[in-house]
């Protein structure tokens, strides 16, 4: 399938990265600056947990293409003392649990045979 490159970051090409780093001042700014330097737009930062002096947060980043998302991810991976635990994209997350559902168009009446 041919993929066109958007001129502006879009939710269509968003990724969510689960990042683990020291729970100290300045880390969110450092990560945000790296993402911005590579043209990503932060759509959300969600706290997962703080444990043993480390923050675990999910960063949702809008990018211009899948290639751009990979560039942003690689830039974040280069930040010292930061671990990338998981990466997922919006399309993948939409398909978790299945995408199709079967429903009735009208009410179904159950008839029990042998009862009067």
Digit-by-digit pLDDT tens for the chain (116 residues) are 334 445 666 667 899 999 999 999 999 999 999 999 999 999 999 999 999 999 999 999 999 998 999 999 999 999 999 999 989 875 544 544 555 556 666 666 666 666 65
Residue 112 lies in a domain: no
Residue 44 lies in a domain: yes
Overall domain count for the chain: 1
Residue 14 lies in a domain: yes
Judged on CB neighbours under 10 Å (0-12, 13-18, 19+), 61 is buried
Q: Write out the residue range of the structural domain in which residue 34 sits.
A: 10-95
> What is the model's pTM?
0.71
Q: What is the CATH number of the domain that holds 59?
A: 3.30.70.260
- How far does Cα 102 stand from its chain's mean position? 27
Residue 3 lies in a domain: no
């Amino acid at each position: 399938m041919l993929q066109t490159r958007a001129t502006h970051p879009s939710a269509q090409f968003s990724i969510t990265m689960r990042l683990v780093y020291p729970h100290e001042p300045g880390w969110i700014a450092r990560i945000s600056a790296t993402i911005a330097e590579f043209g990503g737009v932060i759509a959300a930062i969600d706290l997962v947990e703080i444990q043993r002096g480390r923050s675990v947060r999910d960063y949702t980043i809008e990018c211009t293409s899948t290639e751009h998302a990979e560039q942003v991810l690689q830039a974040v991976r280069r930040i010292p003392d930061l671990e990338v635990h998981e990466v997922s994209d919006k399309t993948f997350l939409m398909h978790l649990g299945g995408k199709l559902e079967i429903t009735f168009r009208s009410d179904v009446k159950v008839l029990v045979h042998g009862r009067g």
